[in-house]
Amino acid sequence: MNKSSKIYIAGHKGLVGSAIVKNLQSKGYTNLVSRTHQELDLLNQKDVEEFFKKEKPEYVILAAAKVGGIVANNTYRADFIYENLQVQNNVIHQSYRHKVKKLLFLGSTCIYPKDAPQPMSEDSLLTSPLEYTNEPYAVAKIAGIKMCESYNIQYGTNFISVMPTNLYGPNDNFDLETSHVLPALLRKMHEAKVDNLERVEIWGSGNPRREFMYSEDMADACVYLMEKIDFKEIQPSRHSQLDWESKSEIRNTHINIGTGIDISIKELANLIKEIVGFKGKLHFNTNKPDGTMLKLTDVTKLHNLGWRHKVELEEGIKTMYEWYKNETK
């Protein structure tokens, strides 16, 4: 990938896509292509085909997806499976047909089984049942991983899948029904502080543990892997294990992206409370789902490839809170 390579970022307005665009620009990449939802409907096979025919991107970063928090995943189950399958089928297949040199497909660590050994390594994929609340989303993302892997094996493409942990940062979704926990708690505590409310509701027991990564760190990891990793020179049909420059071995499927550090939802709520300066009480509503209890990522492979996170949780939340206050002024 050189600085004038034509790179298409699908989902450039979202939490991840916007951070990737910023990262690429800061590293001097000048030929970035994007389309808003109005300009290109990624659910539409014909439109996606026309777009690839016309633009001929050399590199593709597939950060467009239907995503949401635990309740959104559990409620809009059909939309989550349909839209994700459709978007990834269209973009991955057209990337193959139009000879894209490298594609990065983004999934999530919720692809791992509900009771996967912790921390969850790449090898846990498809070893036991998934968490029910996000099963449709996870099944779609697993299909995306297998699609990239299958195209690499059958057609010799260079498609990489990455599985990030729970992400947060600027341009996050702050809608209280559909968002993830971190933006939801930031907003709830901020509004409670401004309105002098006595308590804030936290969903579930507060006992589940989650790992969080700042979106700009995640973007940096994605660009790093786009620059460093090549599946092309490898013959995956003959090897299930790949030998990289670093001599570490990774399977030809996907790479976890995370910090390797987790925190309970209760601890997270208290940390956000302190950062925001909310003085009231926290009320845990156990009528809302906890979801999977543990979700810690094994980041050995990522570290062996030479990348590790830089932004710690407290610093990331503080930066995000400043951004949020500015946006909602």
| 168 tagged catalytic | no
- Residues 275 to 304 in contact with ligand GFB, rule: CB under 6 A: 288-291
Contact region with ligand GFB (CB under 6 A), list: 32-40, 87-95, 199-207, 245-253: 199-207
Q: Is 260 annotated as a binding residue?
A: no
Backbone φ and ψ for 212, nearest 5 degrees, come out as -125, 140
Which residue in the set 59, 137, 214, 278 belongs to the binding site for ligand GFB (CB under 6 A)? 137
To ligand GFB, the closest distance from the beta carbon of 222 in angstroms equals: 16
Which residue in the set 134, 157, 158, 259 belongs to the binding site for ligand GFB (CB under 6 A)? 134
The distance between the two most distant Cα atoms of the chain, rounded to a whole number of Å, is 64
Q: With binding defined as CB under 6 A, does residue 115 bind ligand GFB?
A: no
Q: How many whole angstroms from its chain centre is CA 300?
A: 18
Which residue in the set 110, 125, 148, 213 belongs to the binding site for ligand GFB (CB under 6 A)? 110
Minimal CA–CA distance to 181: which of 252, 272, 305?
A: 272
Rounded Cα gap, residues 256 and 301, in angstroms: 7
To ligand GFB, the closest distance from the beta carbon of 185 in angstroms equals: 6
- Residues 162 to 181 in contact with ligand GFB, rule: CB under 6 A: 166, 179-181
For residue 129, whether the previous peptide bond is cis, meaning omega lies within 30 degrees of 0, is no
Minimal CA–CA distance to 313: which of 235, 258, 254, 234?
A: 258
Rounded Cα gap, residues 323 and 326, in angstroms: 5
To ligand GFB, the closest distance from the beta carbon of 148 in angstroms equals: 18
Q: With binding defined as CB under 6 A, does residue 23 bind ligand GFB?
A: no
Q: How many whole angstroms from its chain centre is CA 9?
A: 14
Rounded Cα gap, residues 84 and 75, in angstroms: 15
Q: How many residues bind ligand GFB (CB under 6 A)?
A: 24
Q: With binding defined as CB under 6 A, does residue 265 bind ligand GFB?
A: yes
Q: Which residue lies nearer to ligand GFB by CB, 26 or 285? A: 285
Rounded Cα gap, residues 53 and 209, in angstroms: 45
Residue of 29, 112, 137, 214 marked catalytic: 137
Q: Is 180 annotated as a binding residue?
A: yes
For CA atoms 326, 165, 306, 221, give the dihedral sign: negative
**Which two tokens mark 153?**
């094996």
Q: Is 244 annotated as a binding residue?
A: no
Rounded Cα gap, residues 169 and 216, in angstroms: 7
Rounded Cα gap, residues 263 and 295, in angstroms: 10
Rounded Cα gap, residues 306 and 87, in angstroms: 31
Q: Is 139 annotated as a binding residue?
A: no
In the complex, which residue's CB is closest to ligand GFB? 69
DSSP per residue, 303-326: HHTT------HHHHHHHHHHHHHH
Strands (E), 34-82: 59-62
- Report the b/e string of 297-311 with b at 16+ CB within 10 A: bbbebbeebebebeb
- Residues 33 to 92 in contact with ligand GFB, rule: CB under 6 A: 69-70, 73
**Site pattern 202..231 for ligand GFB (x: CB under 6 A):** xxx---x-x---------------------
Q: Which residue lies nearer to ligand GFB by CB, 90 or 297? A: 297
Q: Is 106 annotated as a binding residue?
A: yes
Q: Catalytic site residues? A: 137
Which residues are annotated as part of the binding site for NADP(+)? 11-17, 106-109, 141, 164-167, 180
Residue numbers at the binding site for ligand GFB (CB under 6 A) = 69-70, 73, 108, 110, 133-134, 137, 166, 179-181, 184-185, 202-204, 208, 210, 265, 288-291
Which residues are annotated as part of the binding site? 11-17, 106-109, 141, 164-167, 180, 188, 203, 210, 290
